[in-house]
Structure 1
Amino acid sequence: MSAALRLPPPPVRRGACPSVAAPMPTGDGLLVRLRPRAAGLSPEKWRAIAALARRHGNGLVEVTARGNLQIRGLTADSARMLASGLDAADIALRSGTAIEVPPLSGLDPSEAADATPVAAAIEAAIAARGFALAPKLAVVVDGGGVLSLADMVADLRLDAERTAEGVMWRISTAGDAFSARPVARADAADAVETVVGLLGLLAALGPAARGRDLGEALVPALAGPTVRPSLPPVPVGPIAVGAGQVLGLRLPYGRIHADRLEGLANDLERLGATEIRLAPHRALLVPGLAGEALAATIRAAAAHGFRTDPDAPGNAISVCAGSAGCASGLIDTHAVADLLVAEAPSLFGGAPGIHISGCAKGCAHPAAAAVTLAGSAGGLGLVPGGRAGDEPLAVTDDAAAAFARLEALLSRERAPGEPLDSLLDRLGRSRLKAAFQGRT
């Protein structure tokens, strides 16, 4: 078995999200997930986060696929000291049900509506009613714009739409903006009331109930056509937002050391940045830069190890911590990702998304991907067009050889300009399986 496929202890299934109050055991100690209340934090506060991660954890800082912050390598005692340090740095955190809005809400003139007031009203209603909801239940309030949350899966979604009557909110259940089931359309006030009613139904169903449990019998589907938004770009490099630009910085595989984060904060402050925002797709956003300051920031961020090139192959990969940082991980996901970039470059020509998961849970990308590679007891499984928990088409214990064979097939068969998903469909499952497993 190759080094990228070392097996750690059997996985532990978890049902709650880690927080400062309830850290989660992982392969490298305890992990906490932080949701800052402020949309953006100053470079000074990012320096404080870096120092706390270094002092109380193992120095690794992560940004998740949903744009949350994680600190790794804690102990029970150091987690308590981390909480005290965050309070001392005046970094307020959200708790309870995750209510997510686009990272540029209120700043993007192209958005249909500012999602922040609607999200705040839902948060207040949940607190007032004391609903006991599933720990991982998520509500997305998407006002649209350049960096919308159209591709984010949620139990309940509110998507803003401009209509002749003004802004209306499409309410849907269990999915992203393309797959969720629409159940209502209302103005802001009625939309909040409707969502609170749906949350009440979920609370009545029990503390494990999710959006998928709101079937047709409980909540009929909305009749009539619905507006479908476009897929947002991965937030890497300069992004045009109105008349200005926002710089997207992606953490390599969602992880950076605190020393590099601190160096970035120092340079951004020197170059005039006043805030850094968390963003989905494991990224940070820096608004308010232009001209030479923007160019200098790109150079500085690249020097600290952040990805600044929107065309870099690694941007197409969603990857979890894997066996190096999670007790459930059955493979070294970062090693597999590096190997994939080196051995199978054809996978990244117009790739809509590649998911590498340490186990069948698929935490880094719960939805289907064009190509999913998932760890299992037998090795690395290939799931084209599916999720990590789906039955793999093929399994290998020699990832390098499998990727080389897959590359040979794709590069030989691909038509000029052919998208990856179209190529995979045309090749068919039997040829992909034979290439991955080395059988003819």
Structure 2
Amino acid sequence: MADAPQLDHCGAVGMNGVVKGWCPGALRPMASGDGLVVRVRPRLARLSRRQARWLAVAARTHGVGLIDLTSRANLQIRGVQPDRLAQLQETLAELDLLDPDVETEMRRNILTAPDWVPGDDSERISVELMARLAELPRLPAKVGFAIDAGSAPILAQDSADFRIERGETGDLILRAEGRATGCTLTKGAEVDALIALARWFVDSGGEAAGRMARHRAALPVWADTGARPRPSRPVMVPGLTPAGLAIGAAFGQIEAELLNPMMSRSVCMGLRVTPWRIMVLESAVNAGPMPFGLFASPGAAALRVDACAGAPFCPQASVETRGMALALAPHIQGRLHVSGCAKGCARTRAADVVLTGRDGAFDLAFNARPCDPPVETGLTPDQVLARFGDD
């Protein structure tokens, strides 16, 4: 596969150091230090029991046996060698996890509230939008949709450009990212309005801005009638939920070989993926002892940590990241971000404590991103641990 895309992460810098403006898919994977990253986009962020079982087998057979949970509620199979890609794609097609073409795959950038139930507004609108993807205009590669039509928004902090969510009055509203208000929707015509707003975005020059939040053109009058969303609901945490048992994964990654035994013990009906490094075993109440790196309790320190793959898996990183993150997490109050370099691929927002790799050592900053100026530089791992009180 001589023309394999050279990108390690959504919007990150790949092996040739060039920033790309698109996210990986199953038909258009990206190259990383451990092989190709193949992103699988389950419809409604749900895998049936059969799909989950054979996806885990495929991750071991064609990759290095690691599955990432992404911030778009997708799954990434890591370490796929180019000569195994076609076989993996055949398996995904058999599991109904492969889009017919790259264009459809890119358009189907839909984030659905993960606690949807059959027949509710979130499922109904998401299914209709998937059926009408061809009516959308050609949008910038990373533009996405949030269908957040539960009792109150739960995806407000997750990336999207167009949002359908519950309004203050109880009606559904359509809101453009970066705007505090939107318009009230008529039941059954929600997707019509969403497509119309997407077309306006393109027609008004949104492609140059790339994302709705950066597009400063005044919205059409119909699209902003002052309708406000309801205050957000808390996001899921590990533990029992109405949908089933929520399991947290350190760094949003799970060893594929752990998935099937855990599903068998829990007798779950399927698997749901969330944007929060949490997967839900549908209808399950107990999955037995948790393997290393997985958590069924909400207080695990590792769930407050962001860390990229780091060295040696990413050629841009000069430090090992995840071992440091796990060792340091219990000593940090708030959010910790350990980044292999200044790009900050694992987290785009500021964190309470940030360690950034540079020339084989760490820079330290507070309430910052990896690209922000540090307060201390050139720290060794031992110095970092000593700095935060590790004995």
**What TM-score, normalized to structure 2?**
0.82
**Closer/same/farther in 2, CA of residues 107 and 192 from structure 1, 3 Å limit:** closer
| 1:252 correspondence with 2:250 | yes
The count of aligned residue pairs is 369
- Between the aligned residues of both structures, percent identity stands at 29
- The 8 Å contact of residues 15 and 136 in structure 1, kept in 2 or not, is answered as yes
Contact 2:52 2:270 in 1 (8 A): no
- Indicate conservation of the 8 Å contact 2:44/2:123, yes or no: no
Greater RCO between the two (CA within 8 Å, min separation 6)? 1
The 8 Å contact of residues 182 and 227 in structure 2, kept in 1 or not, is answered as no
In 1, Cα distance between the equivalents of 2:226 and 2:162? 19
Give the deviation of 1:311 after TM superposition.
0.7
Partner of 2:370: 388
1:173 aligns with 177
**Shift, 1:48, TM fit:** 0.7
Please report how far the alpha carbon of residue 162 of structure 1 lies from its aligned counterpart in structure 2 after TM superposition: 5.1
Q: Give the aligned partner of residue 229 of structure 1.
A: 231
SS of the residue aligned with 1:14?
Answer: coil
- Matching residue of 1:96: 106
Matching residue of 1:366: 348
C-alpha displacement at 1:21, in angstroms?
1.2
Q: Larger % of helix: which?
A: 1
Distance 1:59 1:188, change over 3 A: same
Match of 2:3 in 1: none
Q: Does 1:128 align with 2:135?
A: yes
Q: Supply the distance in 1 between the matched residues of 2:164 and 2:340 (Cα, whole angstroms).
A: 31
Please give the secondary structure, in 2, of the residue aligned with 1:77.
helix
Instruction: Tell whether the 8 Å contact from 2:140 to 2:211 is kept in structure 1 after alignment.
Output: yes
Paired residue for 2:274? Answer: 279
Q: Structure 1: how far apart are the matches of 2:350 and 2:192?
A: 32
1:262 to 257, 260, 263: 260
CA distance in 1, matches of 2:15, 2:274: 32
* Distance apart, 1:250 and its partner CA: 1.6
Deviation per CA, 1:251-306: give whole Å up to 9, x if none: 222222221123223323xxx321111122122101323xxxx24x1x24x04752
Query: 1:71 offset after TM fit, Å?
Result: 0.5
Task: Indicate if the aligned counterparts of 1:371 and 1:385 stay in contact, CA closer than 8 A.
Answer: yes
Q: Which amino acid aligns with 1:150?
A: A
Q: For 2:208 and 2:80, how far apart are their aligned partners in 1?
A: 28
Of 289, 303, 317, the match for 1:329: 317
Q: Give RMSD over aligned pairs.
A: 3.1
AA in 1 matched with 2:175: I
TM-score, structure 1 as length reference: 0.74
State the AA in 2 paired with 1:274. M
* Contact 1:147 1:233 survives alignment (8 Å): no
CA distance in 1, matches of 2:61, 2:125: 37
Alignment partner of 2:171: what SS?
A: strand
Q: Determine the structure 2 residue equivalent to 1:420.
A: none
Picking from 60, 66, 73, the partner of 1:54 is 60
Question: What does the per-residue CA deviation read over 1:337-390, in whole Å, with 9 as the maximum and x for residues that have no partner?
Answer: 123125xx2x23xx2x33333333333322333333333457433343333343
Determine which structure has more spread, i.e. the larger CA radius of gyration. 1
1:116 paired with 2:144, answer no
Q: Does 1:210 align with 2:211?
A: yes
* 2:93 matches 1:105: no
Unmatched 5+ residue regions in structure 1? 1-7, 175-179, 409-440
How far is 1:189 from its partner?
4.9
Q: Distance in 1 between matches of 2:18 and 2:358?
A: 14
Q: What amino acid maps onto 2:105 in structure 1?
A: S
Q: Distance in 1 between matches of 2:317 and 2:121?
A: 38
Distance 2:218 2:376 in 1: 38
Whichever residue aligns with residue 341 of structure 1, its letter is A
Structure 2 residue 158 is matched with structure 1 residue 152: yes
Show structure 2 runs of 5+ residues with no match. Answer: 1-13
2:247–2:280 contact (8 Å) kept in structure 1: yes
